Amino acid sequence: NVSGQVFNLASGIPVSISTAVDSVRNCLGGLGQPDYSVSDHRRGQNSCIYADISRITNAIGWTPKTPFLDGIEKTIAYYKNLGETAH
Q: For 37-87, what is each residue's pLDDT tens digit?
A: 777 777 777 777 788 999 999 999 999 999 999 999 999 999 988 878 876
SS3 state of residue 79? helix
Per-residue pLDDT at 63: 94
φ and ψ of 7, to 5 deg: -125, 145
pTM of this prediction? Answer: 0.68
SS3 state of residue 15? strand
Contact criterion met (CB below 8 Å) for 3 and 51: no
